[in-house]
Amino acid sequence: MDAPARRGKPAKRRGKGHEEARGGAGAPGPDSQPYGALDLGTNNCRLLIARPAGNGLQVVDAFSRIVRLGEGLGRSGHLKPGAMERTIEALRVCSNKLKWHNVGPRRLIATEACRLALNGAEFIGRVKDEIGLELEIIDRETEARLAASGAEPLIDKGAKSAVIFDIGGGSTEVMWMEAEGGRHRIKAWVSLAAGVVTLSERLNGGKDVSPETFSAMRAEVRRLLEPFVAEVARHAGPNPVPTHLLGTSGTVTTIVGVHLGLRYYDRGRVDGTWITSEGAGDVTQRLLAMDYAARVQNGCIGRERADLVLAGCAILEEIRLAFPAPRIRVADRGLREGILIQMMQADGVWETGA
């Protein structure tokens, strides 16, 4: 999303522009064919087109739209007609951008909503027939590894361990990372069957969230997270505390935007920012004290996220308390960057050691 939010309008997310570098410095290759990565999730449809730039990415174009593909999925088991129509329109924009920029290497993925829906494969076939895009439904392990690849460049180089988490619309991926051979590698991972859409819908929606409803959300996440915490403890010792947490999702970027008091969301101010764990908890309490109308009016939340942000906060609360590192780093990057990095590594054009 590209424009500032106005009062009473949905919050818009804008960054530095299409010539933004992500993941490191380096001279771009303006004559090289760009790579494309598309992430179709339960809540969002996101596209990133970029070229390798030394040990980073030179962004050519980007697109993000909230489509709520998984709306009502938990109750019906099917993707709803209206949700599919919204998503088709967003994917049509993505297809046009891929053609306009003459994108060569590409990977187009779909995650939890299409994994779970009884008509998920049928929808993927419809996308191919109507738009010509061939989407790949990935499994949860692949999703976790892509999220880790996209966010890993922001792990503190001196960190012995870190927990990366990606709070999505339909699921949440959590990875325990450890330093090994100059990189940080996944030692344990989990995909929780709880995201901002599914958790909100499971507990009566997210517009009017009472303290009791918020506590119920947290209890549900805690139940899902406890086996993973025990697994990490068996590997890393009792009460494992990573050097820091690294969050990549709309929840954590929104929290930092609110924490910084931004009038509208600005990726350049948010990506790579540090916040204390206590500071994240303070923002959660502020958001919980707001009613739905006040959340809509906040320039970093807006109408599109106002009914989902507290579900994300409930997930974040349980992750940060389960792994009580003092600091959290926030990444406005994730699956798309992970896809691009993996493709560029395979082609030998990504400088991993820089």
Residues 134 and 186 in one domain: no
Task: Give residue 203's pLDDT.
Answer: 80
Residue 3 lies in a domain: no
Output the pTM of the full model: 0.87
Domain of 122: which CATH number?
3.30.420.40
Task: Give residue 35's pLDDT.
Answer: 97
Residue 112 lies in a domain: yes
pLDDT, one tens digit per residue, over 3-57 is 333 333 444 444 333 334 455 434 445 567 899 999 999 999 999 999 998 778 8
Length of the chain: 354
Residues 273 and 311 in one domain: yes
CA distances (Å), origin 332, targets 68, 121, 299: 20, 29, 17
Task: Give residue 2's pLDDT.
Answer: 33
Residues 136 and 177 in one domain: no
Domain of 211: which CATH number?
3.30.420.150
Domain count, the chain: 2
pLDDT, one tens digit per residue, over 259-302 is 999 999 999 999 999 999 999 999 999 999 999 999 999 999 99
pLDDT, one tens digit per residue, over 116-160 is 999 999 999 999 999 999 999 999 999 999 999 999 999 999 999
Residues 103 and 236 in one domain: no
pLDDT, one tens digit per residue, over 316-346 is 999 999 999 999 999 998 899 999 999 999 9
Task: Give residue 10's pLDDT.
Answer: 41
Residues 174 and 279 in one domain: yes
Residue 337 lies in a domain: no
Residue 342 lies in a domain: no
Q: Indicate if the pLDDT at residue 254 is higher than 50.
A: yes
Q: Using an 8 Å Cβ cutoff, are 306 and 254 in contact?
A: no
Residues 131 and 235 in one domain: no
Cα–Cα distance, 35 to 234 (Å, whole number): 40
Residues 298 and 238 in one domain: yes
pLDDT, one tens digit per residue, over 161-215 is 999 999 999 999 999 999 998 899 999 999 999 999 999 988 877 788 999 999 9
Query: Cα dihedral angle (242, 324, 311, 144), rounded to 10 degrees?
Result: 10
Show the domain range for 45: 13-140
Residues 317 and 180 in one domain: yes
Residues 58 and 112 in one domain: yes
Cα–Cα distance, 343 to 184 (Å, whole number): 19
Residues 237 and 274 in one domain: yes
